[in-house]
Amino acid sequence: MSKSKIFSLPVRVYFQDTDAGGVVYHASYVNFMERARTEWLRAHGYSNAGLMKEFGTVFVVRSLKLDYLRPALLDDLLDVTAQIKDIGRSRISLLQSVCRNGEVLTEAEIHLVCVSLASFKPVSVPEVLRERLKV
């Protein structure tokens, strides 16, 4: 397992994220994690649009595994984290979590694949980005 830094993004739970009872809807966690991955990438010097424009590549989700441990609620302030687990030639595996006051509510392992915009076939993670992601 990599010892990369843990990136954290604060996310407030809004009414649109919840069911009628004020409990965060299960799919909202996927959206929270997507936001955190986007900002994690930006913290390493690249936006998704920048990768598309400069390299003709984009990261797509290959698989994700979510474990829901405790519910988040309307108006909670959450910390959504992202941390590199592993980097392959065209793949990045991340560990993500959603926490409230230090308590883990949801854990996930996300496998991203770098693909060409032209063919949507796997290509190498751009070397300059790979260097920035190193521990």
Q: Which of 17, 19, 76, 79 is catalytic?
A: 19
Catalytic residue list contains 76: no
Please give the Cα distance from 107 to 99 (Å, whole number). 9
Burial of 106 (0-12, 13-18, 19+ CB in 10 A): buried
Tokens coding 99: 């926490």
First-to-last C-alpha distance (Å) of the chain: 11
47's CB contacts (< 8 A; 6+ apart) are 38, 41
How big is the chain, counted in residues? 135
Please give the Cα distance from 32 to 30 (Å, whole number). 5
Catalytic (active-site) positions: 19
